[in-house]
Amino acid sequence: MIQAFGLTSNPRKELPPAADDVSFEARAGRITALLGAPGAGKTTVLRLMLELQQGRGITHFRGRPLHRIAHPSREVGVLLGDVPGHPTRTVRGHLRMLCAAAGVSVRRADEVLEAVGLVSLREERLGTLSRGMDRRLGLACVLLADPHSLVLDDPAGGLSTRESAWLHGMLRAHAARGGTVLFTTADPKEAARTADRVVTLERGRLVADQEAAEFARTRLRPRVAVRSPHAARLAVLLTKQARTSQRSVEVVREGGNRLSVYGGACADIGEIAFRHGIVVHQLADEIGDMGPGAGLAHTGPRDPILAEPARVTDPHGTAPTSTSEESSSAGPSRPFAPDTPAPTTEPRRVLEQGSLSTTREPVAGEPSLCFGQSQLADGEPHELLDLSPAGRSADGSLTATASSRPRAPHPAGVLTARTLDALPPLPPPISVRPAASPLRPLRYEIRRATGIGTGFLTAAVVLAVSAVTAVVLARIGHTPQPRLLAAWPQELPLPPAALGAGLLGALAFGDEFRHPALAADRGTVPRRLGLLAAKLLVSSTAALVLAVLTVGCDAEVLYLAYGRELARLPADWVPLMTSWIGLVVGCAWAGVLAAGVFRSTTAGLAAVAAVPLLVVPVVHRLVNGSSVRTAAGLPMRLRETLLPRWPFGGERYLEAALKVMSQPVGGALTLSLTALLCAYLLTALRSRFR
């Protein structure tokens, strides 16, 4: 169960808050729709529930707020917008990366791919997927950790009718297994035929919280969809005939050649069109919205000139009333009489590739223009669903029944909908591990870094630039041997290897914000120390490899170009190599921490470049100032202070580290890393205890 209490977003200058004191429940085993027009605050409510946005209020997932849940991805599966993955990552690689983050076996990726029908596309890049395949992958990511609750933001937006039916079937199957499903939509018809409960928002406020049957009865009403090349003329005739017969009929021009007739019947509209020689391309019953003034999103533009009702209806947009006396007084040939009862013949169901369509054999005496068969807006047939308690199965799912009642609104709410006789198969349940493995964030970071070619391409460019720079410096001359092997000209603040390591570190956290694949774990990026440690470890390893390969490649190129004289290592190569590795690894760490604090790859790389350009001059001025003693003799004074020798010569390593830190670049880098680490810890603690 999901319980939201008083969700309120922060005010936006002079505008009202996008969400204002929203409270509702989404029960287990049922589907709850959060309905509202675009801009009503649906997405804001979801982000407040998931603690992705600051505001007031709290949300409990089975009695616990999200920040108190040890494994949020095992409790709630989230899909906000498109699939947040790097466009060059493969479908299977993306799921395997999320498997490591959720702590499940990599075999789970193949199971969910089979469940959503993407096995044949597992090696495709995310950037090449269509909208329908993107939605399928998003549902696979949601189901990966077998969560109890699903929270989806407009999951069927932009999908075809077949894909929408498949998606809604998957949601129904999850609810049938006892899970909780909450999704947003702007289409009242989709909410009515898919959800068990509909929560309506308007301008950030909760205006209704109803069962689907009550919502259909009070917010929706039947209509007749008409398509004709002479729609304007037919609208005038229908309005005139309705006024003559004193019937409550509303004719709405939907745009183009389409009309929506509220309170009419297919047979009577067809007779009027036939008598006046008007060609009709479509004539079908539908369940429409409330019409003008309903306060909900409409499917298309309405023409206010032709929207004049034949008789004034309820100002709140409720369905026109037709008493039993009016119905009995109207003869069979009277225009706009209620529809004839639907035949009692059982509908013939046809199940084709996961979508259900119903057909009904015509009955003698029934008007040829209306066979009692309802159609969707795109012309696909569908059947009547009884949303009353008698029309629901034991698990709360909808059941399709043929009704012999008139096609007027059912007292308990009858909707037209497409359904599935057999729900789609879900991936098998998985066992939840009681404790988190310390290697989980490390596996995730390794798969994230190796799943795309950006890191390998960056390393190749760094090695090539370093080799060319070393050859050019050797030809120019007057370059010390250590700088020659590191390809570090005097004019550059940092060598190419240090800049490349900083870029790799900045990408480690920058991609988390650019492609937030871990949105389910509280916040765009879960600010957990385990993830930070994993990123620092992987980035330092990559920087170490890059530093060693750079020196090795430069030495090999210099040996091939100029012989052994320029390729040999200096006599004091151990401390120099230690300083070199410390510089490259420090730049990588600075990129990781800065990108995590400022949430941008560019900011991470800028922080790396700021060390020699801004921090080094400040540190150099402080060290050489008259009021500050120089740190040049710090290693010697430390040796004199620590008279007892450390075992295994440990004082030598401490002396080498202090010697590196006493240099201007080393001191500036150490100062930057300390400041960035404190800033990261501050933001992590603030987000955890807010």
Over 60: is that where the pLDDT of 602 sits? yes
**Is the pTM for the entire model greater than 0.85?**
no
Q: Is 70 exceeded by the pLDDT of residue 99?
A: yes
Look at 446 and 629; give whichever has higher pLDDT.
446
Q: Are residues 291 and 399 in the same domain?
A: yes
Q: Which of 16-20, 203-207, 256-260, 316-320 has the lowest mean pLDDT?
A: 316-320
Whether the per-residue pLDDT at 41 is higher than 70: the answer is yes
CA 269 – CA 272 distance, rounded (Å): 5
Angle at 335 between CA 279 and CA 301, to 5 degrees: 55
**208 and 226 assigned to the same domain:** no
Which of 194, 212, 230 lies at the terminal end of a domain, its last residue? 212
Position 111, amino acid: E
- Report the distance separating Cα 78 and Cα 360, nearest Å: 40
CB 473 within 8 A of CB 487: yes
pLDDT score of 290 = 53
pLDDT of residue 554: 92
In CATH, what number is assigned to the domain containing residue 169? Answer: 3.40.50.300
* Residue 492 pLDDT: 85
Question: Which residues make Cβ contacts (< 8 Å) with residue 354, sequence separation at least 6?
Answer: 162, 165, 166, 169, 420, 424
Closest CA to 450 of 541, 582, 516: 541
pLDDT band for position 654 (50/70/90)? Answer: low
Residues in CB range of 105: below 8 A, 6 or more apart:
99, 430
Instruction: Check if the beta carbon of residue 204 is closer than 8 Å to that of residue 19.
Output: yes
CA dist 359 to 230, 266, 283, Å? Answer: 29, 17, 16
For strand 205-211 and strand 355-359, is the pairing parallel, antiparallel, or unpaired?
unpaired
Q: What percent of the chain has pLDDT over 90?
A: 36
pLDDT for residue 31: 96
Note whether residue 422 is domain-resident: no
Q: Is residue 342 part of a domain?
A: yes
* Domain co-membership, 487 together with 512: yes
pLDDT at 470 over 80: yes
Quote the pLDDT of residue 369.
32
DSSP per-residue string spanning 499-510:
HHHHHHHHHHHH
Inform me whether the pLDDT recorded for 61 exceeds 50: yes
- Report how far residue 132's alpha carbon sits from residue 138's, in angstroms, rounded to the nearest whole number: 10
Mean pLDDT of 620-632: 55
pLDDT digits (tens, 9 = 90+) for 285-323: 877 665 443 434 333 333 333 333 343 333 333 333 333
Same domain, 254 and 156: no
Instruction: Categorize the per-residue pLDDT at 59 as very low, low, confident or very high, splitting at 50, 70 and 90.
Output: very high
Average pLDDT, the chain: 75
Number of domains in the chain: 3
With a CB cutoff of 8 Å and minimum separation 6, the contacts of 119 are: 110, 113
Q: What is the pLDDT of residue 624?
A: 64
User: Can you give the pLDDT at residue 356?
Assistant: 31
Q: Considering only 240-254, 319-333, 507-521, which range has the smallest mean pLDDT?
A: 319-333
Res 688 pLDDT > 60? no
Q: Above 90 in pLDDT, residue 327?
A: no
Residue 353 lies in a domain: yes
Task: Check whether residue 270 and residue 204 sit in a common domain.
Answer: no
Please report which confidence band the pLDDT of residue 529 belongs to, taking 50, 70 and 90 as the band edges. Answer: confident
Residue 427 in domain: no
User: Are both 205 and 268 inside the same structural domain?
Assistant: no
DSSP per position, 580-638: HHHHHHHHHHHHHHHHHHHT-HHHHHHHHHHIIIIIHHHHHHHHTSTTS--STTHHHHH
Q: Which domain holds residue 119?
A: 2-212
Q: Which of 177, 212, 247 is the last residue of a domain?
A: 212
Question: Mapping DSSP to helix (H, G, I), strand (E, B) and coil, where does residue 668 land?
Answer: helix
Sign of CA pseudo-dihedral 100, 105, 106, 111: negative
Residue 497's SS3 state is helix
Mean pLDDT (whole number) for 217-244:
87
Compute the distance between CA of residue 460 and CA of residue 458 in angstroms, rounded to an integer: 5
pLDDT at 362: 36
Is residue 547 in a domain? Answer: yes
Range of lowest pLDDT (80-84, 142-146, 531-535): 80-84
pLDDT tens, position by position, 102-161: 888 889 999 999 999 999 999 999 999 999 999 999 999 999 889 999 999 999 988 998
**In this predicted model, which residue has the larger pLDDT, 645 or 10?**
10
148 three-class SS: coil
> What would the pLDDT profile of 637-646 be if each residue is shown by its tens digit?
555 555 455 5
User: Six-digit token pair at 564?
Assistant: 């052994």
Q: How far apart are CA 179 and CA 196, in angstroms?
A: 13
Interacting residues of 324 by C-beta distance below 8 A, sequence separation 6+: none
CA–CA distance, 84 with 94 (Å, rounded to integer): 10
At 446 the pLDDT is 94
**Long-range interactions of 355-362: CB distance < 8 A, separation 24+:** 355/161, 355/162, 355/165, 355/166, 355/418, 355/420, 356/165, 356/382, 356/383, 356/400, 356/418, 356/419, 356/420, 356/421, 357/381, 357/382, 357/418, 358/382, 358/383, 358/400
Instruction: With respect to residue 429, please indicate whether it lies within any of the assigned structural domains.
Output: no
Same domain, 252 and 176: no
> How far does CA 400 lie from the centroid of its chain?
32
Most confident of 99-108, 413-422, 456-465, 506-515: 456-465
Is residue 254 included in any domain, yes or no?
yes
pLDDT reading at 377 higher than 70: no
Percent of the chain with pLDDT over 70: 69
Residue 112's pLDDT is 94
Closest CA to 320 of 244, 239, 249, 267: 249
Segment (H or E) for 267: helix 266-275
Query: In the sheet that 22-26 helps form, which strands lie side by side, from edge to edge?
Result: 22-26, 2-9, 55-61, 64-65
* Whether the predicted pLDDT of 393 surpasses 60: no
| 380 shares a domain with 481 | no
**Is the same domain home to 104 and 26?**
yes
481 and 526 co-located in one domain: yes
DSSP 72: H
Last residue of a domain, one of 157, 182, 212: 212
Tell me the one-letter amino acid at 94.
H
pLDDT at 577: 86
Residue 364 has pLDDT above 80, yes or no: no
Per-residue pLDDT reduced to its tens digit, 157-197? 889 989 999 999 999 999 999 999 999 999 988 998 899 99
Token representation of residue 17: 């808050």
For 417, phi then psi, to 5°, come to: -160, 160
Query: Where residue 68 falls among pLDDT bands split at 50, 70, 90?
Result: confident
What the block records as the tokens of 9 is 């977003």
Residue 664 lies in a domain: yes
The answer on 622 and 586 residing in a single domain is: yes
- If asked whether residues 626 and 659 sit together in one domain, one would say yes
- Mean pLDDT in residue range 231-248: 88
